[in-house]
Amino acid sequence: MSIAPDTGEQPDVGEQPGAGGPPLARTVLDRAAHRRRDADWLTQAWPRSLVLVVDIADGGRARVRDTGDSVELVLVEADQAPEGERMFLGVDPDGTPLFMIDAALPELPGARPATLRDIGHLLGARDAGVFTAAAALGNWHATHRYSPRSGEPTEVIEAGWSRVDAAGGQMWPRTDPAMIVLVHDGVPGPEGRCLLGHNAAWPQTGATRRFSCLAGFVEPGESAEAAVVREVVEEVGVRLRSMRYEGSQSWPYPGSLMLGFTAVADRDQPFVLDPAEIDEARWFTRAEVTQMIAGTYVDQASGASMGLPMRSSIAFFLIERWLGDSRP
């Protein structure tokens, strides 16, 4: 499909929150990359633009407004934006240029601060794409103020999409590929179970012990599929029978691309846990996972409340898809 410049004519990946695929994969943003080096166009675009202010130092928060069952970003007009480096995100479907500025959040009536983790699943496709791009770009700039080659300070060029040092050495935003997999036993209906683990590094969230899919970074020279097999064996000692790719989404904390899979394994295999990574792993039934989503599941043996990751994560997407999965 060809994409017309500055019109946002891209395939629409799910207009409504939660529709179609992973929540942070949805977007209607035309990134208009050909404009990043066009200084005249950027100067002319700024006065008619809308600006998303993101406070990267405060966890990547932006202002949002609640609108019933969903949430929308609050963007300000250019003349109301705070001082800061202007980073061009792209063009809205209606032709409006969109920028971000990393700065303390302005006070706006009826708006509250929120992170992408908190409300990503509640955003529409336009706002999900904008906030995800802004958070990823802001996090990269915050950690690349100096050149790794020379140690010299770098400055922003290309409307926020590159940095350069005094010698002319350039850096571009990086994305680290990571796999995440929901392992299950392939059994349909209420008897089916999925494998979830508790990461040894996770802090306790109140009284709830959080369980999630297994995940890890793809290593140099490795395919995503090979990383799935390796990570599952390393973390819980389970060997897989088959796997299926389910989709991907950016996870800008600070800059990962999560490649989501489901995989089938024999649940009679004994666990061999890597205690530095996973301190507990269990097979959960569909009924138990449903209760975890509702926040009502309590382990009978330990009396501990058990929950799942935030709804904006691809882990939650994979778990929820498995719950209603009727595919062979």
Within 8 A by CB and 6+ apart from 140, the residues are: 173, 174, 254, 255
Q: Work out the number of other CB atoms within 10 angstroms of the CB of residue 216.
A: 17
pLDDT in tens, the chain (328 residues): 222 333 333 344 444 444 478 999 999 999 999 999 999 999 999 999 999 999 999 999 999 999 988 999 999 999 999 999 999 999 999 999 999 999 999 999 999 999 999 999 999 999 999 999 999 999 999 999 999 988 999 999 999 999 999 999 999 999 999 999 999 999 999 999 999 999 999 876 667 899 999 999 999 999 999 999 999 999 999 999 999 999 999 999 999 999 999 999 999 999 999 999 999 999 999 999 999 999 999 998 888 899 999 999 999 999 999 998 755 5
Whether the predicted model's global pTM rises above the 0.85 cut: yes
ω into 113 cis (within 30 of 0): no
The predicted structure's pLDDT at residue 81: 97
Within 8 A by CB and 6+ apart from 90, the residues are: 8, 29, 30, 31, 32, 97, 98, 133
The predicted structure's pLDDT at residue 8: 36
Closest CA to 216 of 183, 181, 245, 252: 181
Within 8 A by CB and 6+ apart from 23, the residues are: 17, 120, 121, 123, 128, 249, 311, 312, 317
The predicted structure's pLDDT at residue 205: 64
Domain ranges of the chain: 23-142, 144-173, 176-323
CB 145 within 8 A of CB 197: no
**Count of CA atoms in the C-beta half-sphere (13 A) of 98:** 28
**How far is the C-alpha of 227 from the C-alpha of 219, rounded, in Å?**
7
Reduce the secondary structure of the chain to three states and give it as a string.
CCCCCCCCCCCCCCCCCCCCCCHHHCCCCECCHHHCCCHHHHHHHHHHCEEEEEEHHHCCEEEEEEECCEEEECCEEHHHCCCCCCEEEEECCCCCEEEEEECCCCCCCCCEEECHHHHHHHCCHHHHHHHHHHHHHHHHHHCCCECCCCCCEEEEEHHHCEEEECCCCEECCCCEEEEEEEEECCCCHHHCEEEEEEECCCCCECCEEECECEEEECCCCCCHHHHHHHHHHHHHCCCEEEEEEEEEEEECCCCEEEEEEEEEECCCCCCCCCCCCEEEEEEEEHHHHHHHHHCCCECCCCCCEEECCCCCCHHHHHHHHHHCCCCC
| Position 9, amino acid | E
Name the architecture of domain 176-323: Alpha-Beta Complex (3.90)
